Structure 1
């Protein structure tokens, strides 16, 4: 074996959503802040993302996460999420995977019954509180960045669908939130392909028709994902986040539910301190709540809290032989969907 690059990852999932944590082989990415590091990957050189995320070393239904010494000295760790289309600013499920891996591998000392880990993300600082018992990180609770409702009941024209109503909200990244009843659909595994198709069309239309940008972090603009929002028969919140290149988040989605809570608060549908369950398409659950209201650049917003569980399920080492014809990987639409124009 004659690899010219070797990267080791610990693999974990948070309520079903896979988030691999790179633990060796990546020293740093240029940039003085996590936002600058994210922009370097997205705008200057994304070869590392493609190497880790595309086949044969990666696959569509997962994220790969980079960790660094935190540029913000108030934080314990810096964190970037790599996915099929680009690097993203924040992810709740991946943050749960991150904290679980850091503590259970000893990269950060586990303190029982609670360990606090502060994460430096491109969207801001996230405080994680881990419930720990007998060497196991049993649950991670995230105090997320300020979230807010940006546009309620926005109407867009979508190819093949006509006029569609969406809510635009920020939960660490921007979302278009969609009521699937507009399409006579429920959030069920057997409807996954239809939800992905519709969500992908709406994603394209939203970013081409609406002006969406963060009021303080000017490099955060446009929606990252769409999310279908509804309820199960027992009244529990149900959601399905559609991620490029065309697949559904297996977890209930931390940033998506932060955005959803912001919209619900703006409509008077939830109160500060009210604890709710958020359920995924595979029926895994997060606990979510609003900790407080907060103003962001004159806009009314909230501080969301998201709680879920993570499990380590493997250790993975990848490399590239100098003669490998696919050093940066490849993607084929049978697995990666047909939304290639959403992939960079």
Structure 2
């Protein structure tokens, strides 16, 4: 076997969402901050993203997390989230994956019963509190970057669907929040194909009709994901989420950054009190806990400080590379249903 450009990864998922972590073989990405490094991947050289996420080494239904030395003195490690469309600024499920790998592989020392890990991310500093026992990272709670509302009750015209009302909110990246009841679709595994197909159609229309720009991070200027929202019958403090990611697939986890965006919208409507906690459930019924901690500000905007927690599990290791004679050194892309 002749392989060049090899990378070593740990396979891990958080509440069903795969977020593998590169632990060896990758070079530092140019940039003074983690946001600069993300922009470099998105604007200058995204070969490592394509190498990891394109077929045959990758697939749309996963993320790969690129560990980097922290660019700030108050963080223990940095990382950038790579997905099939681009590098992204923030993800709770990927934070949980990274913290679980850092501690369970010994890359960072584990202290029981709790280890604090501070993560340098493009969206800002994220503090993780990992519950640890018998050498395992059992649960990770994240003090998320502040979330805020960009706009409420925005009307969007969607071809072949009609008029949809959305909220636009930031939870680490920008979301279009859509009550699934408008489309008479419940969030469940059986409706995954319909949710992903309809969701990406709405997201495309939203991107054409809405513009955003983060007040402090100007490169965050796009509505990245759409999240369908629903309730859980019989439980006022349980909510159901289904985030749709390009090119048209659902997040298997309940989506932490989307949960923050949803809490920001609830607070803006006066429907959320300090200290309230919700169990967020996904289409596969996995769960995060999401708590509104206190009000804050992002620039001149009212914002919410939240804490999201969930679990991660390692399930393997792998080495990927490329044969020098492979005609597809950076892989290839096909439609998600191909």
Verify same fold: TM over 0.5. Answer: yes
How far the C-alpha of 1:27 sits from its partner, in A, is 1.9
Match of 1:330 in 2: 332
Deviations 1:244-276 (A, max 9, x none): 111100001110101000001111112111111
RMSD between aligned residues: 1.0
- Answer whether contact 1:245 1:337 (CA < 8 A) is retained: no
Match of 1:342 in 2: none
Number of equivalenced pairs: 336
**Given the two structures, how large is their TM-score scaled by the length of structure 2?**
0.98
Whole-angstrom CA distance in 2 between matches of 1:99 and 1:110: 10
- Answer whether contact 1:123 1:172 (CA < 8 A) is retained: yes
Q: Say which of 286, 309, 312 aligns to 1:310.
A: 312
Whole-angstrom CA distance in 1 between matches of 2:26 and 2:96: 21
- Answer whether contact 1:213 1:220 (CA < 8 A) is retained: yes
Partner-residue secondary structure (3-state), 2:41 = helix
- Answer whether contact 1:12 1:19 (CA < 8 A) is retained: yes
How far the C-alpha of 1:299 sits from its partner, in A, is 0.8
Q: Say which of 285, 288, 292 aligns to 1:286.
A: 288
Match of 2:162 in 1: 162
Whole-angstrom CA distance in 2 between matches of 1:263 and 1:248: 21
How far the C-alpha of 1:207 sits from its partner, in A, is 1.2
Match of 2:92 in 1: 92
Matched, 1:218 2:218: yes
Matched, 1:270 2:249: no
Match of 2:231 in 1: 231
How far the C-alpha of 1:2 sits from its partner, in A, is 2.1
* Unpaired segments ≥5 residues, structure 2: none
How far the C-alpha of 1:337 sits from its partner, in A, is 4.5
- Answer whether contact 1:251 1:285 (CA < 8 A) is retained: yes
Deviations 1:46-88 (A, max 9, x none): 1110000011111111100001110011111111000010000
Deviations 1:87-110 (A, max 9, x none): 000000000000000000000000
Whole-angstrom CA distance in 1 between matches of 2:298 and 2:91: 20
Whole-angstrom CA distance in 1 between matches of 2:278 and 2:158: 32
Matched, 1:180 2:148: no
**Given the two structures, how large is their TM-score scaled by the length of structure 1?**
0.96
Matched, 1:10 2:3: no
Whole-angstrom CA distance in 2 between matches of 1:174 and 1:326: 33
Whole-angstrom CA distance in 1 between matches of 2:179 and 2:57: 35
Match of 1:296 in 2: 298
Matched, 1:113 2:113: yes
* Unpaired segments ≥5 residues, structure 1: 339-344
- Answer whether contact 1:196 1:246 (CA < 8 A) is retained: yes
